[in-house]
Protein backbone atom coordinates (compact mmCIF):
# COMPACT_ATOMS: atom_id res chain seq x y z
CA UNK A 1 0.00 0.00 0.00
CA UNK A 2 1.34 3.46 -0.91
CA UNK A 3 2.04 5.90 1.87
CA UNK A 4 2.57 3.36 4.66
CA UNK A 5 4.70 4.47 7.60
CA UNK A 6 8.39 5.24 7.16
CA UNK A 7 10.77 7.43 9.14
CA UNK A 8 9.95 10.49 7.04
CA UNK A 9 6.21 10.07 7.69
CA UNK A 10 6.73 10.68 11.39
CA UNK A 11 6.57 14.38 10.61
CA UNK A 12 3.30 15.82 9.45
CA UNK A 13 1.27 19.01 9.33
CA UNK A 14 -2.01 17.48 10.52
CA UNK A 15 -2.35 14.27 12.49
CA UNK A 16 -5.94 13.04 11.98
CA UNK A 17 -7.05 10.51 14.58
CA UNK A 18 -9.88 8.39 13.19
CA UNK A 19 -10.41 7.34 9.57
CA UNK A 20 -14.20 7.14 9.65
CA UNK A 21 -16.48 9.41 7.65
CA UNK A 22 -15.40 12.41 9.76
CA UNK A 23 -11.63 11.97 9.41
CA UNK A 24 -11.86 11.17 5.69
CA UNK A 25 -14.19 14.09 4.88
CA UNK A 26 -11.82 16.40 6.76
CA UNK A 27 -8.73 14.99 4.98
CA UNK A 28 -10.43 15.26 1.58
CA UNK A 29 -11.20 18.94 2.02
CA UNK A 30 -7.75 19.76 3.47
CA UNK A 31 -6.07 18.10 0.53
CA UNK A 32 -8.13 20.13 -1.89
CA UNK A 33 -7.67 23.48 -0.13
CA UNK A 34 -4.09 23.40 1.17
CA UNK A 35 -0.67 21.96 0.48
CA UNK A 36 -0.48 20.43 3.94
CA UNK A 37 0.83 16.93 4.65
CA UNK A 38 -1.68 14.76 6.49
CA UNK A 39 -1.24 11.64 8.60
CA UNK A 40 -4.36 9.55 9.02
CA UNK A 41 -4.41 7.03 11.83
CA UNK A 42 -6.98 4.50 13.00
CA UNK A 43 -6.94 1.62 15.43
CA UNK A 44 -8.98 -0.31 12.88
CA UNK A 45 -7.08 -2.01 10.05
CA UNK A 46 -9.20 -0.29 7.36
CA UNK A 47 -10.76 3.10 6.66
CA UNK A 48 -14.51 3.70 7.05
CA UNK A 49 -14.90 3.67 10.84
CA UNK A 50 -17.93 1.90 12.26
CA UNK A 51 -19.18 0.86 8.82
CA UNK A 52 -16.51 -1.88 8.88
CA UNK A 53 -18.38 -3.68 11.66
CA UNK A 54 -21.93 -3.08 10.48
CA UNK A 55 -24.51 -5.81 9.91
CA UNK A 56 -24.79 -7.03 6.32
CA UNK A 57 -28.22 -5.55 5.65
CA UNK A 58 -27.35 -2.06 6.92
CA UNK A 59 -27.90 0.86 4.56
CA UNK A 60 -27.52 4.61 4.86
CA UNK A 61 -30.64 6.24 6.31
CA UNK A 62 -30.34 9.19 4.00
CA UNK A 63 -29.54 9.46 0.29
CA UNK A 64 -26.05 8.39 -0.79
CA UNK A 65 -25.70 11.53 -2.90
CA UNK A 66 -25.10 13.60 0.23
CA UNK A 67 -22.79 11.18 2.04
CA UNK A 68 -19.05 10.55 2.08
CA UNK A 69 -16.28 13.00 1.25
CA UNK A 70 -17.02 16.19 -0.64
CA UNK A 71 -14.96 15.58 -3.76
CA UNK A 72 -16.12 12.04 -4.60
CA UNK A 73 -19.73 11.09 -5.29
CA UNK A 74 -21.23 8.08 -3.55
CA UNK A 75 -24.05 6.71 -5.61
CA UNK A 76 -25.93 8.64 -8.29
CA UNK A 77 -29.20 10.48 -8.75
CA UNK A 78 -31.15 7.29 -9.43
CA UNK A 79 -34.45 6.93 -7.63
CA UNK A 80 -35.36 3.50 -6.22
CA UNK A 81 -38.26 1.89 -8.07
CA UNK A 82 -39.07 -0.93 -5.64
CA UNK A 83 -38.89 -1.75 -1.99
CA UNK A 84 -39.54 0.37 1.08
CA UNK A 85 -37.44 3.28 -0.29
CA UNK A 86 -39.34 3.40 -3.60
CA UNK A 87 -39.65 6.91 -5.01
CA UNK A 88 -36.58 8.22 -3.21
CA UNK A 89 -32.86 8.57 -4.01
CA UNK A 90 -30.82 5.42 -3.42
CA UNK A 91 -29.33 4.41 -0.08
CA UNK A 92 -25.88 2.79 -0.25
CA UNK A 93 -25.45 -0.52 1.52
CA UNK A 94 -22.85 -0.84 4.29
CA UNK A 95 -20.58 -2.74 1.88
CA UNK A 96 -20.90 0.03 -0.70
CA UNK A 97 -20.02 2.62 1.94
CA UNK A 98 -16.87 0.76 3.05
CA UNK A 99 -15.84 0.07 -0.58
CA UNK A 100 -16.29 3.78 -1.28
CA UNK A 101 -14.10 4.81 1.67
CA UNK A 102 -11.41 2.32 0.57
CA UNK A 103 -11.44 3.90 -2.87
CA UNK A 104 -11.25 7.41 -1.44
CA UNK A 105 -8.12 6.39 0.43
CA UNK A 106 -6.47 4.25 -2.24
CA UNK A 107 -7.38 6.19 -5.36
CA UNK A 108 -7.34 9.75 -4.12
CA UNK A 109 -5.78 10.45 -0.74
CA UNK A 110 -2.71 8.21 -0.97
CA UNK A 111 -1.81 8.91 -4.63
CA UNK A 112 -1.59 12.62 -3.74
CA UNK A 113 1.72 11.84 -2.04
CA UNK A 114 0.66 14.10 0.83
CA UNK A 115 -1.12 11.55 2.99
CA UNK A 116 0.39 8.91 5.24
CA UNK A 117 -1.97 6.15 6.37
CA UNK A 118 -1.31 4.34 9.63
CA UNK A 119 -3.91 1.59 10.12
CA UNK A 120 -4.03 -0.51 13.30
CA UNK A 121 -2.44 2.28 15.34
CA UNK A 122 -3.96 3.50 18.56
CA UNK A 123 -3.60 7.17 19.44
CA UNK A 124 -2.65 7.21 23.11
CA UNK A 125 -2.31 11.00 23.60
CA UNK A 126 0.55 13.48 23.29
CA UNK A 127 0.78 12.75 19.52
CA UNK A 128 1.93 9.24 20.34
CA UNK A 129 0.68 6.12 18.59
CA UNK A 130 0.88 2.47 19.58
CA UNK A 131 1.22 -0.01 16.75
CA UNK A 132 -1.43 -2.61 17.57
CA UNK A 133 0.45 -5.36 15.70
CA UNK A 134 3.93 -4.87 17.13
CA UNK A 135 3.19 -2.96 20.34
CA UNK A 136 5.79 -0.34 19.39
CA UNK A 137 5.13 3.31 20.10
CA UNK A 138 5.62 6.07 17.62
CA UNK A 139 5.90 9.78 18.39
CA UNK A 140 4.58 11.99 15.60
CA UNK A 141 6.11 15.41 15.11
CA UNK A 142 3.00 17.46 14.33
CA UNK A 143 3.92 20.76 12.70
CA UNK A 144 0.45 22.26 12.77
CA UNK A 145 -2.47 20.48 14.44
CA UNK A 146 -3.85 17.26 15.83
CA UNK A 147 -7.38 16.55 14.61
CA UNK A 148 -9.58 14.44 16.85
CA UNK A 149 -11.91 12.69 14.39
CA UNK A 150 -12.95 10.10 16.96
CA UNK A 151 -15.01 12.30 19.25
CA UNK A 152 -18.27 10.96 17.76
CA UNK A 153 -17.13 7.34 17.74
CA UNK A 154 -20.14 5.08 17.42
CA UNK A 155 -21.15 2.22 19.60
CA UNK A 156 -22.46 -0.50 17.32
CA UNK A 157 -24.05 -3.89 18.03
CA UNK A 158 -20.94 -6.07 17.52
CA UNK A 159 -18.65 -3.93 19.65
CA UNK A 160 -20.84 -2.63 22.46
CA UNK A 161 -21.13 -4.18 25.91
CA UNK A 162 -24.53 -5.67 26.66
CA UNK A 163 -26.36 -4.18 29.60
CA UNK A 164 -28.51 -7.26 30.20
CA UNK A 165 -27.75 -10.84 31.20
CA UNK A 166 -28.18 -13.82 28.93
CA UNK A 167 -28.44 -17.22 30.58
CA UNK A 168 -26.86 -20.33 29.03
CA UNK A 169 -29.21 -21.97 26.56
CA UNK A 170 -30.57 -18.67 25.23
CA UNK A 171 -29.70 -17.66 21.67
CA UNK A 172 -28.91 -13.93 21.57
CA UNK A 173 -26.85 -12.43 18.75
CA UNK A 174 -26.03 -9.04 17.24
CA UNK A 175 -27.79 -8.35 13.92
CA UNK A 176 -24.53 -9.18 12.08
CA UNK A 177 -25.12 -12.87 12.84
CA UNK A 178 -28.81 -12.90 11.97
CA UNK A 179 -28.58 -13.67 8.21
CA UNK A 180 -26.58 -16.85 8.93
CA UNK A 181 -29.17 -18.02 11.45
CA UNK A 182 -32.37 -17.25 9.57
CA UNK A 183 -34.46 -20.39 9.26
CA UNK A 184 -32.89 -22.05 12.35
CA UNK A 185 -35.47 -20.41 14.61
CA UNK A 186 -39.25 -20.12 14.49
CA UNK A 187 -39.51 -16.90 16.49
CA UNK A 188 -37.48 -13.71 16.69
CA UNK A 189 -37.30 -11.03 19.40
CA UNK A 190 -35.75 -7.76 18.32
CA UNK A 191 -34.36 -5.81 21.28
CA UNK A 192 -33.94 -2.07 20.79
CA UNK A 193 -35.86 1.03 19.83
CA UNK A 194 -33.44 2.63 17.36
CA UNK A 195 -32.81 2.45 13.65
CA UNK A 196 -30.87 -0.82 13.89
CA UNK A 197 -33.83 -2.54 15.55
CA UNK A 198 -36.18 -1.14 12.92
CA UNK A 199 -33.83 -2.23 10.11
CA UNK A 200 -33.79 -5.70 11.65
CA UNK A 201 -37.59 -5.92 11.90
CA UNK A 202 -37.95 -4.74 8.30
CA UNK A 203 -35.27 -7.16 7.10
CA UNK A 204 -36.99 -10.11 8.84
CA UNK A 205 -40.32 -9.14 7.26
CA UNK A 206 -38.71 -8.73 3.84
CA UNK A 207 -37.19 -12.23 4.19
CA UNK A 208 -40.69 -13.62 4.57
CA UNK A 209 -40.76 -14.11 8.34
CA UNK A 210 -44.46 -13.73 9.31
CA UNK A 211 -45.12 -10.61 11.40
CA UNK A 212 -46.77 -12.79 14.09
CA UNK A 213 -43.43 -14.58 14.62
CA UNK A 214 -41.62 -11.35 15.39
CA UNK A 215 -41.64 -9.68 18.80
CA UNK A 216 -40.25 -6.18 19.17
CA UNK A 217 -39.07 -4.88 22.55
CA UNK A 218 -39.31 -1.10 22.61
CA UNK A 219 -38.01 0.55 25.77
CA UNK A 220 -38.95 4.05 24.58
CA UNK A 221 -40.66 5.14 21.38
CA UNK A 222 -38.67 7.34 19.01
CA UNK A 223 -39.71 10.11 16.70
CA UNK A 224 -38.55 9.35 13.17
CA UNK A 225 -37.61 11.73 10.40
CA UNK A 226 -39.60 11.23 7.21
CA UNK A 227 -37.12 10.46 4.41
CA UNK A 228 -39.32 12.32 1.91
CA UNK A 229 -37.87 15.54 3.36
CA UNK A 230 -34.20 14.54 2.97
CA UNK A 231 -33.98 14.44 -0.84
CA UNK A 232 -31.27 16.89 -1.98
CA UNK A 233 -32.34 17.18 -5.60
CA UNK A 234 -34.19 19.71 -7.78
CA UNK A 235 -37.08 17.37 -8.58
CA UNK A 236 -37.91 17.12 -4.86
CA UNK A 237 -37.60 20.89 -4.28
CA UNK A 238 -41.27 21.56 -3.60
CA UNK A 239 -41.68 18.84 -0.95
CA UNK A 240 -38.30 19.39 0.70
CA UNK A 241 -38.33 23.19 0.87
CA UNK A 242 -42.01 23.53 1.69
CA UNK A 243 -41.37 20.93 4.38
CA UNK A 244 -38.43 22.95 5.73
CA UNK A 245 -40.55 26.11 5.62
CA UNK A 246 -43.35 24.38 7.55
CA UNK A 247 -40.78 23.10 10.04
CA UNK A 248 -39.44 26.59 10.70
CA UNK A 249 -43.01 27.86 11.14
CA UNK A 250 -43.69 25.01 13.56
CA UNK A 251 -40.60 26.03 15.56
CA UNK A 252 -41.83 29.64 15.52
CA UNK A 253 -45.18 28.60 17.01
CA UNK A 254 -44.19 25.81 19.40
CA UNK A 255 -44.92 26.32 23.08
CA UNK A 256 -42.74 23.49 24.41
CA UNK A 257 -40.41 20.75 23.09
CA UNK A 258 -43.27 18.25 23.17
CA UNK A 259 -45.56 20.66 21.33
CA UNK A 260 -42.84 21.18 18.70
CA UNK A 261 -42.66 17.42 18.12
CA UNK A 262 -46.43 17.20 17.62
CA UNK A 263 -46.30 20.11 15.18
CA UNK A 264 -43.52 18.37 13.23
CA UNK A 265 -45.76 15.33 13.09
CA UNK A 266 -48.71 17.39 11.84
CA UNK A 267 -46.68 18.64 8.88
CA UNK A 268 -45.54 15.09 8.10
CA UNK A 269 -41.89 15.68 8.87
CA UNK A 270 -41.74 13.45 11.92
CA UNK A 271 -43.46 10.11 12.27
CA UNK A 272 -44.12 7.56 14.96
CA UNK A 273 -44.65 3.83 14.75
CA UNK A 274 -47.63 3.46 17.10
CA UNK A 275 -50.24 6.20 16.55
CA UNK A 276 -51.42 5.77 20.17
CA UNK A 277 -48.05 6.26 21.85
CA UNK A 278 -46.32 9.62 21.95
CA UNK A 279 -42.56 9.17 21.51
CA UNK A 280 -40.17 10.79 23.97
CA UNK A 281 -36.92 10.37 22.07
CA UNK A 282 -35.44 11.73 18.85
CA UNK A 283 -32.16 10.39 17.45
CA UNK A 284 -32.30 11.59 13.86
CA UNK A 285 -33.21 8.11 12.53
CA UNK A 286 -34.77 8.46 9.10
CA UNK A 287 -37.47 6.23 7.61
CA UNK A 288 -39.93 6.12 4.76
CA UNK A 289 -43.68 5.90 5.31
CA UNK A 290 -43.62 2.45 3.71
CA UNK A 291 -41.12 1.26 6.29
CA UNK A 292 -43.36 2.57 9.07
CA UNK A 293 -46.29 0.66 7.56
CA UNK A 294 -44.19 -2.52 7.59
CA UNK A 295 -43.24 -1.98 11.23
CA UNK A 296 -46.90 -1.52 12.14
CA UNK A 297 -47.64 -5.08 11.01
CA UNK A 298 -45.69 -6.31 14.05
CA UNK A 299 -48.33 -6.47 16.76
CA UNK A 300 -46.31 -8.28 19.43
CA UNK A 301 -44.59 -5.20 20.83
CA UNK A 302 -43.33 -5.21 24.41
CA UNK A 303 -43.12 -1.89 26.22
CA UNK A 304 -41.96 -2.86 29.70
CA UNK A 305 -38.68 -0.95 29.74
CA UNK A 306 -35.25 -2.33 28.97
CA UNK A 307 -34.31 -6.01 28.94
CA UNK A 308 -32.61 -7.04 32.18
CA UNK A 309 -32.16 -10.82 31.93
CA UNK A 310 -33.05 -13.49 29.43
CA UNK A 311 -33.46 -17.07 30.64
CA UNK A 312 -34.86 -20.00 28.65
CA UNK A 313 -38.58 -19.37 28.22
CA UNK A 314 -38.67 -15.87 29.79
CA UNK A 315 -37.54 -12.36 29.03
CA UNK A 316 -37.25 -10.21 32.17
CA UNK A 317 -37.54 -6.47 31.69
CA UNK A 318 -37.45 -3.40 33.94
CA UNK A 319 -41.21 -3.43 34.52
CA UNK A 320 -42.27 -7.03 34.02
CA UNK A 321 -41.64 -10.20 32.11
CA UNK A 322 -42.90 -12.06 29.05
CA UNK A 323 -42.75 -15.73 28.24
CA UNK A 324 -41.11 -16.93 25.05
CA UNK A 325 -41.18 -20.13 23.01
CA UNK A 326 -38.07 -22.31 23.05
CA UNK A 327 -37.21 -21.61 19.42
CA UNK A 328 -36.75 -17.88 20.09
CA UNK A 329 -33.74 -16.01 18.68
CA UNK A 330 -33.00 -12.71 20.42
CA UNK A 331 -31.35 -10.04 18.30
CA UNK A 332 -29.50 -7.42 20.34
CA UNK A 333 -29.94 -4.02 18.69
CA UNK A 334 -29.55 -2.03 21.89
CA UNK A 335 -26.27 -0.25 21.06
CA UNK A 336 -26.70 3.49 20.65
CA UNK A 337 -25.39 4.54 17.21
CA UNK A 338 -24.36 8.05 18.14
CA UNK A 339 -26.47 9.41 20.96
CA UNK A 340 -25.50 8.60 24.46
CA UNK A 341 -22.18 7.10 23.35
CA UNK A 342 -20.12 10.19 22.83
CA UNK A 343 -18.21 12.73 24.86
CA UNK A 344 -19.87 16.09 25.64
CA UNK A 345 -19.36 18.95 23.18
CA UNK A 346 -16.20 21.08 23.36
CA UNK A 347 -14.86 23.92 21.21
CA UNK A 348 -13.97 22.68 17.72
CA UNK A 349 -10.90 24.85 17.26
CA UNK A 350 -8.71 24.94 20.35
CA UNK A 351 -5.11 25.99 19.67
CA UNK A 352 -3.15 23.13 18.18
CA UNK A 353 -6.12 20.75 18.39
CA UNK A 354 -9.26 20.47 16.27
CA UNK A 355 -12.11 18.35 17.67
CA UNK A 356 -14.49 17.38 14.88
CA UNK A 357 -18.12 17.44 15.93
CA UNK A 358 -21.53 17.89 14.44
CA UNK A 359 -21.92 21.54 13.53
CA UNK A 360 -24.88 21.09 11.22
CA UNK A 361 -27.74 18.85 12.27
CA UNK A 362 -27.65 15.89 11.50
CA UNK A 363 -24.83 15.95 8.95
CA UNK A 364 -21.57 14.50 10.20
CA UNK A 365 -19.52 14.36 6.94
CA UNK A 366 -20.68 17.86 5.98
CA UNK A 367 -19.62 19.12 9.41
CA UNK A 368 -16.11 17.64 9.06
CA UNK A 369 -15.64 19.03 5.55
CA UNK A 370 -16.79 22.52 6.56
CA UNK A 371 -14.43 22.43 9.54
CA UNK A 372 -11.51 21.70 7.20
CA UNK A 373 -12.56 24.51 4.89
CA UNK A 374 -12.68 26.97 7.80
CA UNK A 375 -9.24 25.80 8.91
CA UNK A 376 -7.83 26.74 5.50
CA UNK A 377 -9.83 29.98 5.13
CA UNK A 378 -9.57 31.81 8.44
CA UNK A 379 -6.74 32.75 10.76
CA UNK A 380 -7.84 32.69 14.39
CA UNK A 381 -9.75 30.13 16.46
CA UNK A 382 -12.22 32.84 17.46
CA UNK A 383 -13.06 33.55 13.82
CA UNK A 384 -13.44 29.84 13.01
CA UNK A 385 -15.45 28.92 16.08
CA UNK A 386 -18.15 31.42 15.06
CA UNK A 387 -19.25 28.86 12.48
CA UNK A 388 -18.69 25.71 14.50
CA UNK A 389 -20.65 25.84 17.70
CA UNK A 390 -20.85 22.13 18.54
CA UNK A 391 -24.24 20.44 18.57
CA UNK A 392 -24.77 18.12 21.53
CA UNK A 393 -26.20 14.72 20.66
CA UNK A 394 -28.96 14.35 23.16
CA UNK A 395 -32.01 12.23 22.58
CA UNK A 396 -34.60 13.92 24.81
CA UNK A 397 -37.02 16.40 23.29
CA UNK A 398 -35.51 19.12 25.45
CA UNK A 399 -32.05 18.14 24.18
CA UNK A 400 -33.31 18.32 20.61
CA UNK A 401 -34.63 21.86 21.11
CA UNK A 402 -31.39 22.97 22.77
CA UNK A 403 -29.43 21.47 19.85
CA UNK A 404 -31.34 23.68 17.43
CA UNK A 405 -29.61 26.76 18.84
CA UNK A 406 -26.03 26.02 17.69
CA UNK A 407 -27.46 24.69 14.42
CA UNK A 408 -29.29 28.00 13.82
CA UNK A 409 -26.27 30.07 14.89
CA UNK A 410 -23.87 28.21 12.61
CA UNK A 411 -26.26 28.43 9.64
CA UNK A 412 -26.88 32.14 10.19
CA UNK A 413 -23.19 33.00 10.55
CA UNK A 414 -22.33 30.96 7.46
CA UNK A 415 -25.06 32.65 5.45
CA UNK A 416 -23.67 36.09 6.32
CA UNK A 417 -20.05 35.34 5.31
CA UNK A 418 -19.72 35.49 1.49
CA UNK A 419 -16.94 32.89 1.12
CA UNK A 420 -18.34 30.45 3.67
CA UNK A 421 -21.80 30.83 2.13
CA UNK A 422 -20.36 30.11 -1.33
CA UNK A 423 -18.64 26.98 -0.03
CA UNK A 424 -21.78 25.75 1.73
CA UNK A 425 -23.89 26.38 -1.37
CA UNK A 426 -21.51 24.34 -3.48
CA UNK A 427 -21.18 21.40 -1.09
CA UNK A 428 -23.00 18.25 -2.18
CA UNK A 429 -22.90 17.05 1.46
CA UNK A 430 -25.64 19.44 2.63
CA UNK A 431 -29.32 18.56 2.20
CA UNK A 432 -30.63 21.99 1.30
CA UNK A 433 -27.99 24.53 0.35
CA UNK A 434 -27.00 23.57 -3.18
CA UNK A 435 -30.59 22.88 -4.27
CA UNK A 436 -31.67 26.29 -2.95
CA UNK A 437 -28.65 28.03 -4.48
CA UNK A 438 -29.54 26.73 -7.96
CA UNK A 439 -32.95 28.46 -8.00
CA UNK A 440 -32.89 31.24 -10.63
CA UNK A 441 -34.49 34.69 -10.31
CA UNK A 442 -36.95 33.75 -13.03
CA UNK A 443 -38.31 30.81 -11.06
CA UNK A 444 -40.77 32.88 -9.10
CA UNK A 445 -42.63 29.96 -7.47
CA UNK A 446 -39.46 28.54 -5.91
CA UNK A 447 -38.18 32.05 -5.08
CA UNK A 448 -41.38 32.69 -3.15
CA UNK A 449 -40.78 29.61 -1.00
CA UNK A 450 -37.18 30.68 -0.34
CA UNK A 451 -38.31 34.19 0.63
CA UNK A 452 -40.94 32.80 2.99
CA UNK A 453 -38.28 30.53 4.43
CA UNK A 454 -36.01 33.47 5.17
CA UNK A 455 -38.78 35.15 7.16
CA UNK A 456 -39.72 31.92 8.91
CA UNK A 457 -36.08 31.44 9.96
CA UNK A 458 -36.14 34.71 11.91
CA UNK A 459 -39.47 33.90 13.55
CA UNK A 460 -38.19 30.44 14.47
CA UNK A 461 -34.97 31.83 15.95
CA UNK A 462 -36.94 34.35 18.03
CA UNK A 463 -39.25 31.70 19.48
CA UNK A 464 -36.34 29.35 20.07
CA UNK A 465 -34.73 31.96 22.32
CA UNK A 466 -37.98 32.12 24.29
CA UNK A 467 -38.30 28.33 24.51
CA UNK A 468 -34.74 27.98 25.78
CA UNK A 469 -35.33 30.72 28.37
CA UNK A 470 -38.42 28.80 29.56
CA UNK A 471 -36.43 25.56 29.75
CA UNK A 472 -33.65 27.27 31.71
CA UNK A 473 -36.23 28.71 34.08
CA UNK A 474 -37.77 25.28 34.56
CA UNK A 475 -34.34 23.78 35.24
CA UNK A 476 -33.33 26.50 37.75
Distance CA 4, CA 147 (A): 19
Select from 29, 36, 50, 117 the one that contacts ligand FAD (CB under 6 A): 50
Nearest to 336 by CA among 230, 220, 166: 220
Q: Which of residues 310 and 337 has its CB atom nearest to ligand FAD in the complex?
A: 337
Does 338 interact with ligand FAD (rule: CB under 6 A)? Answer: yes
Neighbouring CB atoms inside 10 A of 304's CB total 17
Among 27, 38, 40, 60, binds ligand FAD (CB under 6 A): 60
With contacts defined by CB under 6 A, name the span among 59-67, 74-82, 256-264, 465-473 that binds ligand FAD: 59-67
Determine if 295 is a binding residue for ligand FAD (CB under 6 A). no
Under the binding rule (CB under 6 A), the answer on residue 61 touching ligand FAD is yes
**Per CB under 6 A, which region of 36-44, 133-141, 308-316, 410-418 contacts ligand FAD?**
36-44
Given the complex with ligand FAD, which of 106 and 259 has the nearer CB atom?
106
Give the integer Cα–Cα distance in Å for 460 and 250.
8
Footprint of ligand FAD on residues 66-125 (CB under 6 A)? 67, 122-123
- Looking only at the bridges linking them, the beta strands covering 165-166 and 328-332 are unpaired
Contact status: 192 vs ligand FAD (CB under 6 A) = no
User: Judged by CB, which is closer to ligand FAD: 71, or 321?
Assistant: 71
Please give the residue whose beta carbon sits closest to ligand FAD in the complex.
Answer: 49
Q: Three-state DSSP class for 116?
A: strand
> How many residues are recorded in the chain?
476
Q: Does 231 bind ligand FAD (CB under 6 A)?
A: no
Q: Are strands 307-311 and 300-302 parallel, antiparallel or unpaired?
A: unpaired
Q: How many Å apart are CA 354 and CA 371, to the nearest integer?
A: 9
Question: For residues 43 and 53, is the Cβ–Cβ distance under 8 A?
Answer: no
Beta strand ranges found along 335-465 (DSSP E):
349-350, 353-355
How many C-beta neighbours within 10 Å does residue 252 have?
Answer: 18
| Residue 66, SS3 per DSSP | helix
**How many binding residues for ligand FAD (CB under 6 A)?**
32
Torsion angle of C-alpha atoms 95, 163, 328, 170, degrees rounded to 10: 110
Contact with ligand FAD (CB under 6 A): which of 12, 28, 53, 62?
62
- The interface region with ligand FAD, picked from 171-179, 262-270, 311-319, 361-369 by CB under 6 A, is 361-369
Note whether 16 binds ligand FAD by CB under 6 A: no
Among 150, 260, 403, 460, contact with ligand FAD (rule: CB under 6 A)? 150
CA distances for 95 relative to 100, 162, 268, angstroms: 8, 25, 31
Q: Cβ closer to ligand FAD: 60 or 449?
A: 60
What CA–CA distance (Å, rounded) separates 56 from 43? 22
Taking contact as CB under 6 A, which single stretch among the options 12-20, 234-242, 307-315, 323-331 is the one that binds ligand FAD? 12-20
Q: Is 39 in the site for ligand FAD (CB under 6 A)?
A: no
**Alpha-carbon span 224 to 221, nearest angstrom:** 9
Q: Does 58 bind ligand FAD (CB under 6 A)?
A: yes
What is the spatial distance between Cα 284 and Cα 353, in angstroms, rounded to a whole number?
A: 28
Where are any strands of DSSP class E within 249-357? 270-271, 281-287, 300-302, 307-311, 314-317, 320-323, 328-332, 349-350, 353-355
| Binding residue (CB under 6 A) for ligand FAD from 3, 14, 16, 18 | 18
Contact window for ligand FAD (CB under 6 A) among 14-22, 77-85, 175-183, 273-281: 14-22
Does position 149 bind ligand FAD by CB under 6 A? Answer: yes
In the complex, least distance from residue 387 CB atom to ligand FAD, rounded to whole angstroms: 19
Residues from 381 through 420 that contact ligand FAD (CB under 6 A): none
Contact flag: residue 43 with ligand FAD (CB under 6 A): yes
* Longest Cα–Cα distance in the chain: 69
Residues engaged in binding ligand FAD (CB under 6 A) = 17-23, 41-44, 49-50, 58, 60-62, 67, 122-123, 149-150, 152-154, 156, 195, 337-338, 363-365
Amino acid sequence: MGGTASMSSLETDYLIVGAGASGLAFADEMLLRSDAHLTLVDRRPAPGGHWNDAYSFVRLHQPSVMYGVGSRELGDQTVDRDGPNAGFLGLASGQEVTDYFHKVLEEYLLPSGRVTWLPAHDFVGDNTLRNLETGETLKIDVRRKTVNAAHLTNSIPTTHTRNFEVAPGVACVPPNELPGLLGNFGHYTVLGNGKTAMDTCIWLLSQGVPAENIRWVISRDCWLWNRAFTQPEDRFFEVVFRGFLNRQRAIAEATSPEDMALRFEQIGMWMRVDPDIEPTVYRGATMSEREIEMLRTIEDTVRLGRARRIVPGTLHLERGQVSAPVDMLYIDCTASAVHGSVSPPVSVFQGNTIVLQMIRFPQIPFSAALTAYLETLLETDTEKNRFTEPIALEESMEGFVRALVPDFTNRLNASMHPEVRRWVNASRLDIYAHTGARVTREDTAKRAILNDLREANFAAAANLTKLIADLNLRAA
